[in-house]
Amino acid sequence: MKPVIVVHGGAGRIFKEREEGCRAGVVRAALRGYGVLKRGGSAVDAVEEAVRSMEDDPHFNAGCGSVLNEKGEVEMDAIIMDGKNLDSGAVSAVKCVANPIKLARLVMEKTKHMLLTDHGAHLFAQAMGIPEIPGEKLITERSRERWRKNLEPDSNPQEFQKDLGTVGAVAIDSEGNVACATSTGGLSNKLIGRVGDTACIGSGGYADNHSGATSTTGHGESIMKVVLARLILYHMEQGMSPEVAADTALDYMKTRVGGLGGVIVVNKAGEWAARFSTKQMSWATVKDDNLHYGIYAGEKHVKSVDEALESEREGF
């Protein structure tokens, strides 16, 4: 099986001045994940590596760069899933951890549970020796500025939610195993303790070797209502291609509950799709040693991996 990885940096509206950084961020993540696959690593290793790369990139609403809740704090959610045996691990409302996706994987591999939240996740992180970092370290000036604006009496937080930025990855490795990973800071100025779709299996992501893997982004409550990730795999089980399955599910979410979002998909044959009903979604994929990436509907750049790695060394 030829390995494939697809990543997204969130669906929504990407402001002009942030486009380049978002493009570079998803490309870097896809190349890192693909590097893992090329060295014989597993799909789970690859999606974790890709998502960690974006958690560390302040352009995205995950890890460093996460948006703030109503109290001005970062609370993050993440999920990872292994399509081989349907094992999954997730964390929700976690603070003071640089890479929630790493913690989610530890939940999957070191506990009998699938989801740990808030204080329990914090205790588990300590037990696993994950370094605690000051919450301030995860906060960017942009997130703080947005939080302040949303506190103003005449503000419209909904307007700001359009620029989301959840991150995710799906992959198939040389042995035909699939995996997904998704990580987010959630919604700006959300209630304390709000958990969206990301940490919920079947909503924020799903992976099953029998059909494929998907990671979602967009309005969390809408995604949860239609269980978007599992819905896409259901459509593929009925014989739809990744692209048609993604479009059908996104269209259903829009017409049924008025929700917009984006998805990345890979099926068990290694066919992939990156589709969205929002204005934009940053995405990148590597297959057959070729990198594809874009932000706008219909936009697709293609480079060889060697050329992309060269550009990466030169600063994109």
Which residues carry out catalysis?
A: 166
What's the 3-state SS for 136-190? Answer: HHHCCHHHHHHHHHHHCCCCCHHHHHCECCCEEEEEECCCCCEEEEEEECCCCCC
> Is 195 annotated as ligand-binding?
yes
Sequence-ordered alpha helix ranges (H) in the chain: 16-38, 43-55, 100-110, 118-127, 141-151, 157-161, 220-226, 228-237, 242-257, 305-313
> Is 219 annotated as ligand-binding?
yes
Which single residue is written with the structure tokens 């959610």?
Answer: 77
> Is 197 annotated as ligand-binding?
yes
CB 291 within 8 A of CB 308: yes
CB 179 within 8 A of CB 207: yes
> Is 119 annotated as ligand-binding?
no
> Is 217 annotated as ligand-binding?
yes
Angle (deg, nearest 10), helices 16-38 and 305-313: 120
> Is 239 annotated as ligand-binding?
no
> Is 194 annotated as ligand-binding?
yes
> Is 77 annotated as ligand-binding?
no
- Binding-site positions read 194-197, 217-220
- Binding-site positions for substrate read 194-197, 217-220
